[in-house]
């Protein structure tokens, strides 16, 4: 493809938002680290430079070699990117007298294609402590705010546009318009990256890559693995062998229900009940990361056993998506912290001897759902809430026992069923229950109890990268709390998590 956008990441917290906003315009983009540019730049029609927590005046600041890009590709430089271009082109960047963070308004806008249809006094989002005091030679001022004179500029001779604000952030009210002006009107990109186009291209690529070889795919019952399975099925048909593993940590009745649903989708699927194998391996382990790694190890062992039953299997299909990769390994290849590990990210042990195919690796969750709709997957499957690969293991804080799993399955079933009955399920991104390793005093039938506490969690989100807690109706919360305490022996207290992501994560472990 030669209709792509290259986003160079300098470590900004907003880089993933840039990618999302570009894709919302039906334009494909890829994020690459600033210090590892692709050797072949011919497939990219425009380049975006991200922000950064660094200062261009620091010796440790990101310093890319842009010689193959400047003067050859249209560039949109955002925040740090704009300062970088200005600083190393003869301008002057210095510490700002007052840090400008948050909402600001463009008090001066020059007419032209970059700000086409953007009204004067429009709101933008700032996040910087340095400021461009002097523009480089040949640069033209395009916009200012009350506190920042050089809020936007262009270098016409190189088709470079620099902006001090963040168009990718929701609070920049005309951010999407500004990105579209640059990408479509100035860079000449076509808005052709649609779910249907992705399906057509991906199926063709899968056929070329896999040919007549066999693929084993682990189905989880979730949206990602389902869409990956249908894509692979469209590409290679009977050569796809799906395996649905019961790790003993699924929701109540989920193993049988999911198998039944998949059989009606025409997929070649086998169910493997390995509950005892997983639960035995987890016995006595309380550390969240170790629990994840144990589950990942056993999952691979089970898969290896099953793969030997599929003669001449060459590939392992996975439903890995972009946020999985971002949260497990820095997307920039830099020093970003690992938030949590994902057992379906990072390749396979050598003994499995299978090549990995991940048809959804570059998609965000909402994009996966749109692709699923394009494939004709039933809405009840696409509308299913995300469920963690390690299952209830990371919703049981502390060590895992069969009794705890059974208890949490009952609590979760009451909560999720209640959401459906009250018409709330489809308004929520993800919901579930967490079992705390604490007990609290209660009173039942005039007798003192000392029993377990469970947490209910419901969030709204677009792609899981950020999330806000959902304001569930009090009447609903009251009924669900009463049902849980009355119907689940061993629970005498129900609480609701009102933390957003960030600073919290959606899951508790």
The catalytic residue positions are 79, 166, 168
Q: Where are the alpha helices (DSSP H) in 117-213?
A: 175-180, 195-210
Residue 386 is given by DSSP the state P
Query: How far does the chain reach from its first CA to its final CA, in angstroms?
Result: 40
Alpha-carbon distance 152 to 305, whole Å?
59
Whose tokens are 């946020």? That residue is: 323
- Collapsed DSSP state (helix, strand, coil) of residue 490: coil
φ, ψ for residue 108, nearest 5 deg: -145, 125
Q: How far is CA 412 from CA 116, 288, 305, 400, in A?
A: 51, 20, 31, 16
Alpha-carbon distance 143 to 462, whole Å?
31
429 alpha carbon, distance to own chain's centre: 13
Whose tokens are 């682990």? That residue is: 218
415 closest CA partner among 392, 435, 391, 433 = 433
CB atoms within 10 A of CB 26: 15
| CB contact at 8 A, 314 and 214 | yes
φ, ψ for residue 255, nearest 5 deg: -60, -50
231 closest CA partner among 300, 305, 313, 321 = 321
Alpha-carbon distance 458 to 342, whole Å?
21
Strands 240-246 and 214-219: parallel
Strands 355-357 and 214-219: unpaired
Strands laid side by side in the 75-78 sheet: 28-33, 4-9, 44-49, 75-78, 160-163, 152-155, 139-145, 92-109, 123-134
């Amino acid at each position: 493809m030669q209709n792509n956008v290259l986003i160079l990441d300098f470590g900004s917290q907003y880089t993933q938002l840039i990618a999302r906003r570009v894709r919302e315009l039906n334009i494909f983009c890829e994020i690459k680290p600033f210090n590892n540019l692709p050797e072949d730049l011919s497939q990219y029609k425009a380049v975006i430079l991200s922000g950064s927590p660094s200062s261009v005046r620091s010796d440790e600041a990101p310093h890319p070699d842009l010689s193959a890009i400047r003067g050859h590709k249209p560039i949109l430089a955002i925040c740090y990117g704009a300062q970088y271009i200005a600083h190393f082109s003869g301008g002057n960047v210095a510490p700002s007298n007052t840090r400008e963070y948050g909402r600001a308004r463009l008090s001066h806008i020059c007419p032209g294609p970059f700000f086409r249809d953007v009204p004067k006094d429009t709101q933008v989002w700032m996040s910087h402590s340095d400021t461009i005091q002097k523009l480089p030679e040949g640069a033209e001022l395009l916009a200012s705010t009350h506190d920042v004179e050089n809020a936007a500029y262009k270098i016409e001779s190189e088709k470079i546009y620099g902006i001090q604000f963040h168009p990718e952030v929701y609070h920049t009210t005309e951010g999407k318009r500004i990105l579209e002006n640059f990408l479509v009107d100035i860079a000449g990109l076509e808005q052709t990256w649609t779910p249907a186009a992705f399906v057509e291209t991906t199926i063709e690529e899968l056929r070329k890559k896999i040919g007549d070889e066999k693929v084993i795919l682990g189905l989880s019952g979730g949206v990602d693995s389902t869409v990956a399975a249908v894509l692979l099925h469209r590409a290679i048909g009977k050569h796809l062998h799906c395996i649905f593993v019961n790790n003993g940590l699924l929701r109540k009745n989920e193993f049988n229900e999911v198998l039944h649903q998949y059989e009606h989708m025409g997929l070649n699927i086998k169910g493997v009940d390995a509950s005892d194998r997983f639960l035995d391996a987890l016995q006595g382990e309380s550390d969240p990361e170790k629990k994840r790694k144990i589950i990942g190890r056993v999952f691979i062992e089970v898969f290896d056993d099953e793969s030997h039953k599929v003669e001449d299997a060459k590939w392992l299909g996975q439903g890995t998506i972009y946020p999985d990769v971002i949260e497990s390994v820095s997307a920039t290849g830099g020093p970003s912290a690992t938030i949590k590990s994902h057992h379906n990210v990072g390749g396979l042990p050598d003994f499995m001897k299978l090549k990995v195919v991940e048809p959804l690796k570059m998609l965000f969750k909402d994009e996966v759902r749109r692709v699923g709709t394009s494939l004709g997957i039933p809405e009840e499957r696409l509308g299913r809430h995300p469920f963690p690969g390690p299952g209830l293991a990371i919703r049981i804080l502390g060590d895992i026992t069969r009794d705890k799993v059974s208890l949490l399955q009952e609590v979760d079933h009451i909560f999720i069923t209640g959401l459906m009955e009250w018409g709330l399920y489809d308004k929520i991104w993800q919901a579930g229950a967490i079992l705390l390793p604490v007990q609290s005093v209660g009173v039942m039938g005039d007798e003192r109890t000392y029993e377990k506490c469970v947490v209910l969690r419901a969030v709204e989100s677009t792609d899981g990268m950020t999330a806000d807690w959902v304001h569930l109706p009090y009447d609903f919360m009251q009924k669900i709390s009463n049902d849980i305490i009355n119907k689940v022996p061993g629970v005498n207290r129900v609480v609701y998590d009102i933390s957003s992501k960030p600073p919290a994560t959606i899951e508790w472990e």
